[in-house]
Amino acid sequence: MSRKPFYVSTPIYYCNDIPHIGHAYTTITADVLARYHRLVGDKTFFLTGTDEHGQKVEKAAEALGKKPKEFVDGVVTHFQELWETLNVSNDRFIRTTDEDHKEVVTELWKKMEAAGDIFEGEYEDWYCVHDETFWTESQLLEGNLCPNPWCKRPVEKKREKSYFFKLSKYTEPLLKYYEDHPDFVLPEFRMNEVKSFVSQGLMDLSISRSTINWGIPVPGDEKHVMYVWVDALTNYLTASGYLKDEEKYETFWPATIHLIGKDILRFHAIFWPAFLMSAGLPLPKHVMAHGFWTADDMKISKSLGNRIDPTELVDIFGLDAVRYFLMREIQLGADGNFSYKAIANRVNADLANDLGNLLSRSLAMTKKYMDGVVPDKTAADCKMANVCAQAEADYQKAFDNHMPNKALVATWEVISYANKYIDEQAPWVLAKDDANKQELADTMYNLLEALRRIGAMISPVMPDTSAKLLAQLGLESITVNGDTLGNWGELEPGTKTQRGESLFPRVDMKKVEKLIESKAAEAEKKKADSKAESKTVEKQEPENIALVEFTDFTKLALRIGVVKTAEKVKKTDKLLKLTVDTGEDRTIVAGIALHYTPEELIGKKVVVLTNLKPRKLRGIESEGMMLAATAPDGTLRLLTTDEIIPAGSTIG
Ligand code: MSP
| Per-residue model confidence as pLDDT tens digits over 225-257 | 999 999 999 999 999 999 999 999 999 999 999
Q: Are 37 and 485 in contact (CB under 8 A)?
A: no
Q: What confidence category does residue 528 fall into, taking pLDDT thresholds of 50, 70 and 90?
A: confident
Average pLDDT over residues 579-595: 90
How far apart CA 181 and CA 154 sit, in angstroms, is: 46
CATH topology for 6-290 is Rossmann fold (3.40.50)
For 65-98, what is each residue's pLDDT tens digit?
999 999 999 999 999 999 999 999 999 999 999 9
Please provide residue 392's backbone torsions phi and psi, each rounded to the nearest 5 degrees: -70, -35
Residue with CA nearest ligand 1 atom 30? 22
Distance CA 126, CA 144 (A): 9
**What is residue 507's predicted lDDT score, i.e. its pLDDT?**
95
Tell me, in angstroms, the distance from the centre of ligand 1 to residue 145's CA: 28
Of 174, 168, 163, 202, nearest in space to 276 by CA:
174
Distance 310 CA to ligand 1 centre (A): 15
Provide CATH 3.40.50.620 ranges for the chain.
Answer: 6-290
pLDDT band at 536 (very low <50, low <70, confident <90, very high): very low
* Ligand 1 pocket test target in 76, 238, 264 with most atoms within 8 Å of CB: 264
- CA atoms of 162 and 625, how far apart (whole Å): 34
What one-letter code names the amino acid at 579? T
Residues of the chain with CATH 1.10.730.10: 340-523
pLDDT at 539 over 60: no
Residue 252 CA to residue 245 CA, distance in Å, equals 11
Residue 582 has pLDDT above 80, yes or no: yes
The alpha carbon dihedral of 13, 14, 16, 22 has a sign of negative
Rounded to the nearest 10°, the torsion over CA 137, 141, 143, 145 is -90
> Please, how many CA atoms are within 13 Å of residue 68, restricted to the half-sphere of its CB?
18
Q: Is the predicted pLDDT of residue 340 greater than 80, yes or no?
A: yes
Task: Order the strands of the 221-226 sheet from edge to edge.
Answer: 208-209, 221-226, 217-218
Which of 384, 388, 404 lies closest to 462 in space, CA to CA? Answer: 404
With a 6 Å cutoff on the Cβ, whether 141 touches ligand 1 is no
Is the CB–ligand 1 distance for residue 25 below 6 Å? yes
DSSP code at position 168: G
Q: Around 538, how many Cα atoms within 13 Å sit in the side-chain half-sphere? A: 8
Min mean pLDDT across 121-125, 147-151, 246-250, 485-489 is at 147-151
Spatial separation of the C-alpha atoms in residues 49 and 649, rounded to whole Å? 56
Bridge partners, 165 (sequence order): 118, 205
DSSP code of 544?
Answer: G
Give yes or no for residue 148 having a pLDDT over 60.
yes
- Residue 443: phi and psi, rounded to 5, are -60, -45
Q: What is the pLDDT of residue 477?
A: 82
Q: What is the mean pLDDT of the chain?
A: 91
Each residue's pLDDT tens digit, 298-312:
878 666 677 889 999
537-651, superfamily in CATH? Nucleic acid-binding proteins (2.40.50.140)
The residue among 461, 437, 450 whose CA lies nearest residue 486 is: 450
CA distances from 136 to 216, 262, 491, 617 (A): 24, 22, 65, 11
Three-class SS of residue 63? helix
- CA separation for the pair 320, 79 (Å, rounded): 19
Distance CA 28, CA 11 (A): 12
Q: Is the CB of 228 under 6 A from ligand 1?
A: no
Q: What is the pLDDT of residue 574?
A: 84
Kindly give the pairing relationship between strand 205-206 and strand 293-295: unpaired
Quote the ligand 1 centre to 576 CA distance (angstroms). Answer: 26
**What's the pLDDT at 389?**
94
Q: Apex CA 246: angle with CA 241 and CA 248, to 5°?
A: 55
- In this structure, are residues 101 and 95 in contact, taking their beta carbons and an 8 Å threshold? yes
Residues of the chain with CATH 2.40.50.140: 537-651
Task: Using alpha carbons, select from 325, 333, 323, 205 the residue that is nearest to residue 260.
Answer: 333
Contact between 57 and 13 under an 8 Å Cβ cutoff? The reply is no
CA-based angle 378:472:406, to the nearest 5? 80
Q: What is the pLDDT of residue 541?
A: 39
How many CA atoms, within 13 angstroms, populate the side-chain half-sphere of residue 114? 10
* pLDDT at residue 545 tops 70: no
Average pLDDT rounded to a whole number, residues 120-133: 76
Q: Is the dihedral of CA 330, 336, 337, 340 positive or negative?
A: positive
CA distance 306 to 301: 6
Give SS3 for 593.
Answer: coil
pLDDT at 59: 81
Residue 162 backbone dihedrals phi, psi, to 5 degrees = -155, 155
- Going by C-alpha positions, the residue among 315, 253, 272, 208 that lies closest to residue 12 is 272
**Does residue 26 have its Cβ closer than 6 Å to ligand 1?**
yes
Question: What one-character-per-residue DSSP string does 131-147 give?
Answer: TTEEE-GGGSBTTTB--
Could you give the angle at the alpha carbon of 133 between the alpha carbons of 128 and 138, nearest 5°?
80
Which one, of 173, 172, 181, 208, lies nearest residue 280 by Cα?
173
SS (H, E, C) 19-35: CCHHHHHHHHHHHHHHH
pLDDT greater than 80 at residue 380: no
Is the beta carbon of 458 within 6 A of some atom in ligand 1? no
CATH T-level topology, domain 340-523 = Isoleucyl-tRNA Synthetase; Domain 1 (1.10.730)
264 Cα nearest atom in ligand 1: 17
* pLDDT for the residue numbered 543: 38
- Kindly state the helix (H) or strand (E) to which residue 187 belongs, with its residue range: none
Q: What is the DSSP string of 515-539?
A: HHHHHHHHHHHHHHHHHHHHHHHHH
pTM for this model (two decimals)? 0.80
Ligand 1: centre distance to CA 262 (Å): 8
Q: How far is the CA of 299 from the centre of ligand 1 (A)?
A: 14
Instruction: Residue 552: count other Cβ atoms within 10 Å of its Cβ.
Output: 9
Whether residue 583 has its Cβ less than 6 Å from ligand 1 = no
Alpha-carbon gap, residue 241 to 648, rounded angstroms: 65
Q: Is residue 260 lining ligand 1, measured as CB closer than 6 Å?
A: yes
Range in 13-17, 547-551, 646-650 with the lowest mean pLDDT? 547-551
Enumerate the H helices of 371-434 as residue ranges.
Answer: 383-400, 404-425, 427-430
Mean pLDDT computed over 360-369: 98
